[in-house]
Copies of this chain bind each other. A is one copy, B any other.
Amino acid sequence: MRVLGVDPGLTRCGVGVVEGVAGRPLTMVGVGVVRTPADADLGHRLVAIEQGIEQWLDEHRPEFVAVERVFSQHNVRTVMGTAQASAVAMLCAARRGIPVALHTPSEVKAAVTGSGRADKAQVGAMVTRLLRLGAPPKPADAADALALAICHIWRAPAQNRLQRAVALHTAKAPKGRTA
């Protein structure tokens, strides 16, 4: 199973591709960050994110896209940008018939560290260990994207298979329900 994890953001959108199945060692296929200039207008920033995500989808052909579920507890201004960047990532995936899964930050932390309240350093350390990397991926957004992909591979493999079948079936009929 090949999963693209996306940690959405307007300034830095973390992206990471992980391959593997639950219960086996996982492999990092690629990691990076899609950046947009803070002084560009919002429409152009969203276009740049779309182009970046499209490149990652073209190059790595993931079977699933896992996006961080956005909450609005945090800074209001940041959250709106995060919601908008996540919309672009979901749109790019859904347009291709790739199923999209949303995972909360605490689900991701719990999956890779065992604790839903782990800090960035702990998540980075576990991603490094689980993917057998030489050093933690930087910036933190890139590590978080890999953690999302790992979380997705480990959570409910049966549900993933069902979701994929439904998404492929309904790719051209937006009425379909896949989540």
Binding site for B on A (CB under 8 A): 36-37, 39-48, 50-51, 70, 72, 76, 79-80, 83-88, 90-91, 93-95, 99-100, 102, 170, 174-179
Contact = CB atoms under 8 A, between A and B. Distances in A.
Nearest to A49: B91
Given A50-B91, A83-B84, A178 B44 contact: yes
Shortest beta-carbon contacts, A-B, top 8: A43-B94, A84-B87, A83-B83, A48-B174, A41-B179, A87-B87, A43-B100, A44-B174
B176 A44 contact: yes
Given A40-B176, A70-B80, A72-B72, 18 more contacts: A36-B174, A41-B94, A41-B179, A42-B90, A43-B90, A43-B94, A43-B178, A44-B175, A44-B178, A46-B87, A46-B90, A48-B174, A72-B79, A83-B84, A84-B87, A84-B90, A87-B88, A88-B88
